[in-house]
């Protein structure tokens, strides 16, 4: 190769362009320790006088790909010298190559927007000769969309890449696609799917024996196994990548391997001596390769290690070294580092410094969208505020920590459900393919039998007796095979029926799961919002009594105690409503009619709601007959009336009027009760969903009173339990009328 470079120097006119190219080649081949045959052939094309300018520029482009990412400066010079290819629409192969490789260069240079533009252009080119480039661009677009958390776009391009490389029967492309999909699913916490695709990629790449790609695959496999808590596999693949890196010491993943090992022996299987050993090696390699983000991570891990061993001064030293590089680190890495620094200062009882660092961790977690570090940081702040006596703030941090943990649990559960659905679809498709292959085998068997029959027919002209014997034997054989085919066909039909039944069962289970999730979410919403608010008010009043009670006059104390009593009553009503609805859902509530005077029952309900009615200065008219007595369950009808009257109070403006009527209908066998108001009314398109748990219609009262969304659902269930029905008539800004009709014989 050096002889070729000397020949180029002596035989070629040394223009500025050629000097640049010669410099690139010397640097590139020196960096790689000698080029392979492919690079040699590209170099010969570049300096050959028999080649056209188009061929030479194309060779420069392909040679730049060999230098990315190990010699980015040389790659840049080659791409600049051949940049005219980007505009040659009549040469799609050369144009696509330049755009795709330039996209790779921009990506490694962190110019991801420019990279995406290049890949989109290549993917949109409709030329049969560049399908491999289109497939590779689809994978790269998928990976970049995944980084932007645009998962739908990412999946579209991954599927497109799989389709392109399958049509091309390109194992290398399929390996690339599977590797990228493995990373995609690993980042979405779908670890089983990630493992499937990564093992597929490994199978292809071990056949190809490309050390550069194998190192990437081994390291990523180690990360997937770490997520699956299979520790023996984690070390196996990390060390495989480390061993293979001896062949490519300048590989960009080498420093990452050492960083992963430092993190593993620091955070997962504590072995401080091994962690220090790998940290020392990783720091040296990261400095040589200018991998500042890896240095940041190693320094932070060393800070954690020395914090855990109680060597706080040493821990502070390493965290300070990490902070010098934090401008170049990703937000999630910074969130983790700031949290661990805050934990260190908490242990040192330097609480002000700890608080400041933990709030920085929260800021970076919000930027990165990391619930994990948000939960950890708030939990650490909870412990600090508990120690320092800031109990209200401590409770706030604890609640936020628990909320983030619940969100993580919810996401992990949904990720697992999504993963199981995808695995089911994959297994189903593989099963269908297997059945199709078996069917094809049977068809081939039939074809072979038919050919045999033709041969026997021709032979029969020579020997009639032999023909008759063979014909009889052949018919018997065909009949048996037909029976076997029928049995196999029936077996296939049975399997298809079983698959259909399983699909129906899975759909039903999914619906049940959605209903259960909705019910649970409703409970959580009520508990976290509607119950927490009155308790905060209770705590506030109690704090005033505790802190200022001795200096407070009796009138003010009495007012606070009245507020406490009213708040407790409202909270008790909400709990009662919640428990009643829960009891209904568990089928534990029974309809037990007894003699009831309706007007008196309505008055009891109004007495319970007296505070709300008087507060809004409503006029409430009870038009029920004094002597109207019926057989009905008083507990159930009372719960219904309290909910409906409370809604009328809530959605009627101050000084409004509410009218309650109760009469017997349908030959005195049914009780009809109407609650009418002149309030805000309900939109016509929302009335149909008022009594559904899934309804998204939520409206605050005229004084901003918040509801649980459970009241009308409970009313409908209670009315249904009594064997009755409920109707709504409403006009916007004119009011609403809720009417219930339930079986209740007159006494």
Of residues 384 and 489, more confidence is placed in: 384
Task: List alpha helices for 48-111, DSSP H.
Answer: 53-67, 72-81, 92-108
Residue 711 φ then ψ, to 5° = -60, -55
User: Mean pLDDT lowest for which of 191-195, 360-364, 517-521, 643-647?
Assistant: 517-521
Residue at which a domain ends, from 529, 564, 588: 588
Give the pLDDT mean for 83-103: 91
Q: Are residues 550 and 613 in the same domain?
A: no
Instruction: Characterise 709 by phi-psi region: left (phi > 0), alpha (psi -120 to 50), beta (else).
Output: left
- Judged against a pLDDT cut of 60, whether residue 319 lies above it is answered with yes
Question: Which tokens go with 455?
Answer: 């041969």
Q: Are residues 603 and 664 in the same domain?
A: yes
* pLDDT for the residue 561: 82
Q: Are residues 704 and 580 in the same domain?
A: no
Residue 659 lies in a domain: yes
Q: Are residues 674 and 737 in the same domain?
A: yes
Q: How far is CA 230 from the centre of its chain?
A: 23
Residue 309 lies in a domain: no
* pLDDT for the residue 658: 96
The tally of domains found in the chain comes to 3
Q: CA 373, CA 359: separation in Å to the nearest integer?
A: 11
Residue at which a domain ends, from 539, 573, 588: 588
Predicted confidence (pLDDT) per residue in 555-581, tens digit: 887 887 877 776 676 676 667 666 766
Residue 154 lies in a domain: no
Q: Which residues are CB-contacts of 278 (< 8 A; sequence separation ≥ 6)? A: 258, 261, 262, 265
Q: Are residues 567 and 606 in the same domain?
A: no
User: Mean pLDDT lowest for which of 183-192, 228-237, 582-591, 661-670?
Assistant: 582-591
Residue 208 lies in a domain: no
Q: Are residues 688 and 738 in the same domain?
A: yes
pLDDT category at 17 given cuts 50, 70, 90 is very low
DSSP reduced 3-state for 57: helix
* pLDDT for the residue 36: 53
* pLDDT for the residue 648: 93
User: Average per-residue pLDDT in the chain?
Assistant: 81
Q: Are residues 480 and 511 in the same domain?
A: yes
Question: Which tokens go with 229?
Answer: 């808590």
CB of 164 closer than 8 Å to CB of 127: no
Residue 304 lies in a domain: no
Predicted confidence (pLDDT) per residue in 323-365, tens digit: 888 887 888 888 888 999 999 898 999 989 989 998 998 999 8
Predicted confidence (pLDDT) per residue in 466-504, tens digit: 777 777 888 888 888 888 888 887 878 888 888 888 888
- Judged against a pLDDT cut of 60, whether residue 426 lies above it is answered with no
* pLDDT for the residue 569: 63
Q: CA 415, CA 419: separation in Å to the nearest integer?
A: 6
- Judged against a pLDDT cut of 60, whether residue 14 lies above it is answered with no
Q: How far is CA 607 from the centre of its chain?
A: 50
At 514, which CATH number? 1.10.287.130
Q: CA 116, CA 8: separation in Å to the nearest integer?
A: 37
CB of 385 closer than 8 Å to CB of 393: yes
Q: CA 704, CA 470: separation in Å to the nearest integer?
A: 94
Q: Are residues 629 and 736 in the same domain?
A: yes
User: Mean pLDDT lowest for which of 16-20, 42-46, 117-121, 368-372?
Assistant: 16-20
* pLDDT for the residue 525: 63
Residue 135 lies in a domain: no
* pLDDT for the residue 71: 82
Q: CA 7, CA 430: separation in Å to the nearest integer?
A: 58
| Terminal alpha carbon distance of the chain | 112
* pLDDT for the residue 580: 67
- Judged against a pLDDT cut of 50, whether residue 4 lies above it is answered with no
Q: CA 30, CA 730: separation in Å to the nearest integer?
A: 84
Residue 213 lies in a domain: no
Residue 348 φ then ψ, to 5° = -80, 0
Residue 79: count of CB within 10 angstroms of its CB: 24
At 660, which CATH number? 3.30.565.10
- Judged against a pLDDT cut of 50, whether residue 35 lies above it is answered with no
**Quick one: how many helices (H) and strands (E) in the chain?**
29, 7
DSSP reduced 3-state for 113: helix
Give the pLDDT mean for 88-97: 90
Of residues 473 and 33, more confidence is placed in: 473
Where b means 16+ CB within 10 Å and e means fewer, 306-339 reads bbbeeeeeebbebbebbbebbeebebbbbbbbbb
- Judged against a pLDDT cut of 50, whether residue 664 lies above it is answered with yes
Q: Are residues 600 and 729 in the same domain?
A: yes
* pLDDT for the residue 626: 79
Of residues 256 and 679, more confidence is placed in: 679
Of residues 519 and 285, more confidence is placed in: 285
Residue 644 lies in a domain: yes
Which has the closest alpha carbon to 57: 103, 93, 5, 32?
93
Task: List alpha helices for 526-553, DSSP H.
Answer: 532-548
Q: How many residues does the chain have?
A: 747
Domain hosting 583: range is 460-588
Q: CA 736, CA 644: separation in Å to the nearest integer?
A: 11
Give the pLDDT mean for 165-189: 83
pLDDT category at 665 given cuts 50, 70, 90 is very high
Of residues 213 and 295, more confidence is placed in: 295
Q: In what order do the strands lie in the sheet with 725-731?
A: 619-622, 657-665, 670-677, 735-743, 725-731
Q: Are residues 546 and 611 in the same domain?
A: no
Q: Are residues 603 and 673 in the same domain?
A: yes
Q: Are residues 605 and 702 in the same domain?
A: yes
Residue at which a domain ends, from 588, 611, 633: 588
Predicted confidence (pLDDT) per residue in 500-557, tens digit: 888 888 888 787 677 666 666 665 665 555 566 667 767 877 888 788 877 888 888 7
């Amino acid at each position: 190769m050096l002889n070729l470079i000397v020949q180029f120097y002596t035989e070629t006119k040394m223009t500025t362009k050629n000097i640049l190219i010669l410099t690139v080649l010397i640097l590139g081949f020196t960096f790689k320790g000698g080029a392979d045959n492919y690079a040699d052939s590209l170099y010969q094309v570049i300096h050959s006088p028999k080649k056209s300018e188009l061929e030479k520029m194309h060779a420069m482009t392909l040679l730049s790909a060999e230098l990315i990412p190990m010699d980015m400066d040389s790659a840049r010079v080659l791409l600049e010298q051949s940049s005219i290819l980007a505009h040659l629409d009549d040469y799609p192969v050369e144009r696509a190559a330049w755009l795709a490789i330039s996209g790779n260069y921009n990506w490694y240079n962190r110019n991801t927007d420019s990279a995406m533009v290049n890949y989109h252009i290549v993917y949109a080119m409709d030329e049969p000769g560049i399908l491999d480039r289109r497939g590779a661009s689809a994978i790269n677009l998928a990976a970049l969309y995944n980084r932007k958390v645009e998962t739908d776009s990412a999946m579209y391009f991954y599927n497109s890449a799989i389709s392109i490389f399958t049509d091309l029967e390109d194992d290398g492309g399929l390996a690339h696609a599977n590797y990228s999909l493995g990373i995609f699913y690993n980042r979405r916490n779908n670890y089983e799917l990630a493992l499937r695709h990564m093992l597929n990629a490994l199978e292809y790449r071990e056949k190809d024996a490309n050390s550069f790609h194998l190192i990437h695959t081994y390291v990523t496999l180690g990360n997937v196994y770490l997520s699956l808590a299979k520790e023996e596999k984690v070390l196996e693949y990390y060390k495989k990548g480390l061993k293979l890196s001896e062949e490519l010491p300048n590989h960009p993943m080498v420093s990452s391997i050492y960083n992963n090992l430092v993190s593993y022996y620091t955070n997962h299987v504590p072995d401080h001596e091994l962690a220090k050993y790998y940290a020392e090696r990783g720091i040296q390699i990261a400095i040589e390769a200018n991998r500042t983000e890896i240095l940041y991570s190693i320094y932070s891990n060393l800070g954690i290690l020395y914090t855990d061993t109680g060597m706080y001064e040493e821990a502070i030293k390493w965290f300070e070294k990490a902070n010098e590089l934090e401008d170049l680190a990703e937000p999630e890495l910074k969130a983790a580092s700031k949290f661990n620094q805050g934990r260190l200062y908490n242990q040192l009882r330097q609480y002000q410094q700890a608080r400041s660092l933990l709030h920085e961790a929260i800021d970076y977690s919000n930027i990165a969208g990391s619930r994990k570090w948000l939960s950890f940081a708030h939990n650490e702040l909870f412990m600090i505020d508990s120690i320092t006596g800031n109990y209200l703030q401590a409770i706030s941090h604890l609640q936020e920590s628990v909320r983030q943990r619940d969100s993580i649990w919810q996401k992990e559960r949904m990720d697992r459900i999504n993963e199981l659905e995808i695995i089911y679809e994959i297994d189903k498709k593989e099963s269908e393919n297997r059945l199709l292959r078996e069917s094809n085998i049977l068809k081939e068997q039939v074809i072979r039998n038919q050919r045999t029959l033709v041969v026997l027919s021709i032979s029969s002209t020579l020997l009639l007796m032999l023909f008759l014997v063979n014909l009889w034997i052949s018919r018997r054989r065909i009949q048996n095979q037909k029976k076997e085919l029928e049995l196999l066909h029936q077996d296939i039909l049975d399997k298809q029926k079983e698959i259909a039944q399983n699909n129906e069962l899975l759909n039903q289970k999914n619906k049940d799961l959605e209903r259960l999730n909705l019910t649970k979410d409703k409970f959580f919403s009520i508990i976290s919002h509607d119950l927490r608010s009155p308790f905060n008010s209770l705590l506030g009043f109690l704090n005033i009594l505790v802190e200022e009670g001795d200096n407070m006059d009796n009138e003010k104390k009495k007012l606070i105690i009245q507020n406490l009593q009213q708040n407790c009553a409202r909270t008790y009503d909400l709990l009662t409503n919640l428990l009643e609805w829960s009891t209904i859902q568990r089928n534990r509530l029974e309809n037990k009619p007894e003699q009831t005077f309706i007007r008196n029952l309505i008055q009891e309900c109004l007495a319970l709601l007296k505070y709300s009615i008087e507060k809004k200065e409503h006029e409430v008219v009870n038009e029920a007959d004094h002597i109207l007595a019926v057989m009905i369950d008083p507990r159930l009808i009372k719960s219904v009336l309290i909910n409906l009257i409370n809604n009328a109070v809530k959605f009627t403006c101050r000084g409004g009027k509410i009218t309650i009527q109760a009469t017997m209908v349908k030959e005195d066998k049914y009780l009809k009760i109407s609650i009418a108001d002149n309030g805000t009314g309900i939109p016509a398109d929302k009335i149909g969903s008022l009594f559904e748990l899934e309804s998204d219609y939520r409206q605050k009262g005229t004084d901003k009173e918040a509801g649980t969304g459970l009241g009308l659902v409970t009313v409908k269930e209670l009315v249904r339990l009594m064997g009755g029905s409920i109707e709504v008539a409403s006009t916007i800004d004119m009011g609403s009328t809720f009417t219930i009709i339930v079986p209740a014989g007159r006494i």
